[in-house]
């Protein structure tokens, strides 16, 4: 059996529209066109922040605010089609599932419970820094290490790929979240998929 660390925003939760809405509220900027949104999706996080004129020193404060404000909209955030069934099957097959996210544990638990997928995970690890997932992955992998078990890290952003590589997990990038296929491919994940059902083919 395998151990699977799953990102939350953009992988399980279709939260990008809410995040964009929050950005409009904070910045007062005009709505982006679909072309502009797609361009931002194919940037790394640091590139996107620079393009949006958000200095790195403001990120920790904004992240705290984002977690709080996101909780007010959590009822508007859908789960990606196909993910509940895939998570259920993976868990039923004996794989161990964890959630790791920059979002808060409270928001994650509320969302998972709202969509009746909370029982599929044995660990929820929230409040990660935007660039601090690798060390957290390593800690989980060291703590729960078992012989002959493979580790996968599933995420929708380049930073998820980079963290998986540093931690020594196989990276599965999904192209239905925050980052687009072009930028994900540039970071060379072990696998790049375009539907939840493909996870079942990769993880036996």
CATH of the domain at 118: 3.40.50.1000
C-alpha–C-alpha distance, residues 20 and 22, integer Å: 5
Q: Which two tokens stand for residue 65?
A: 């605010």
The range of the structural domain enclosing residue 22 comes to: 1-204
pLDDT of 204 over the 80 cut? no
Alpha-helical segments (H) within 9-129: 16-27, 34-41, 45-51, 59-73, 83-92, 105-114
Q: Which helix (H) or strand (E) holds 145?
A: none
Per-chain mean pLDDT for the chain: 94
pTM of the model: 0.93
- What does the pLDDT look like over 32-90, one tens digit per residue? 999 999 999 999 999 999 999 988 888 888 888 999 999 999 999 999 999 999 999 99
Sign of CA dihedral 110, 113, 115, 117: positive
More confident residue, 10 or 63: 10
Q: What pLDDT was estimated at residue 91?
A: 97
Q: What are phi and psi of 134, to 5 degrees?
A: -60, -45
Look at the chain and report how many structural domains it folds into. 1
**pLDDT reading at 131 higher than 90:** no
pLDDT band at 28 (very low <50, low <70, confident <90, very high): confident
């Amino acid at each position: 059996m395998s151990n699977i660390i799953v990102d939350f925003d953009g992988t399980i939760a279709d939260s990008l529209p809410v995040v964009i809405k929050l950005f409009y509220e904070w910045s007062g900027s005009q709505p982006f066109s679909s072309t502009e949104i797609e361009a931002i999706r194919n940037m790394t996080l640091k590139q996107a922040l620079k393009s949006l004129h958000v200095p790195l020193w403001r990120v920790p404060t904004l992240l705290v605010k984002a977690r709080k404000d996101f909780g007010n909209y959590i009822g508007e955030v859908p789960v990606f089609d196909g993910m509940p069934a895939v998570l259920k099957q993976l868990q039923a097959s004996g794989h161990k599932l964890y959630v790791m996210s920059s979002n808060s544990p409270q928001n994650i638990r509320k969302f998972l419970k709202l969509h009746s997928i909370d029982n599929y995970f044995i660990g929820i690890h929230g409040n990660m820094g935007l660039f601090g997932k690798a060390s957290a992955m390593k800690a989980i992998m060291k703590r729960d290490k078992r012989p002959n078990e493979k580790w996968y890290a599933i995420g929708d952003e380049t930073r998820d790929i980079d963290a998986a590589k540093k931690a020594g997990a196989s990276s599965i990038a999904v192209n239905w979240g925050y980052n687009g296929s072009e930028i994900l491919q540039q970071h060379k994940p072990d696998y790049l998929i375009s539907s939840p059902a493909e996870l079942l083919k990769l993880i036996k």
